[in-house]
Amino acid sequence: MSYKCVVCGKGPSAGKNVSHSKRATPRLFRPNLQKTKLGYVCTRCLRTQRKVERTGQK
């Protein structure tokens, strides 16, 4: 599974874990992807899609 939203293209971004002693180690921030009929979609796009369906906007 690739960590990329099929709607907006949001993917993993890099950052650092910072411990209490301020020692920084690399890490990845991955988007919260959910499997839908479209494919893997981030939760922000799912929320926007629900809002559009509810209000009837285009």
Please give the Cα distance from 34 to 17 (Å, whole number): 25
Backbone dihedral region for residue 3 (phi beyond 0: left; psi -120 to 50: alpha; all else: beta): beta
Report yes or no on 5 lying in a domain: no
- Residue burial 2-14, b: 16+ Cβ < 10 Å; e: rest: eebbebeebeeee
Report yes or no on 22 lying in a domain: yes
Cut 0.75: pTM above it: yes
The predicted structure's pLDDT at residue 58: 66
Report yes or no on 18 lying in a domain: yes
The predicted structure's pLDDT at residue 2: 79
Report yes or no on 48 lying in a domain: yes
Q: Which domain holds residue 23?
A: 13-55
DSSP 3-state assignment of 14?
strand
Number of domains in the chain: 1
32 neighbors 10 (Cβ within 8 angstroms)? no
At 1-58, the pLDDT tens digits run: 679 999 999 999 999 999 999 999 999 999 999 999 999 999 999 999 999 989 887 6
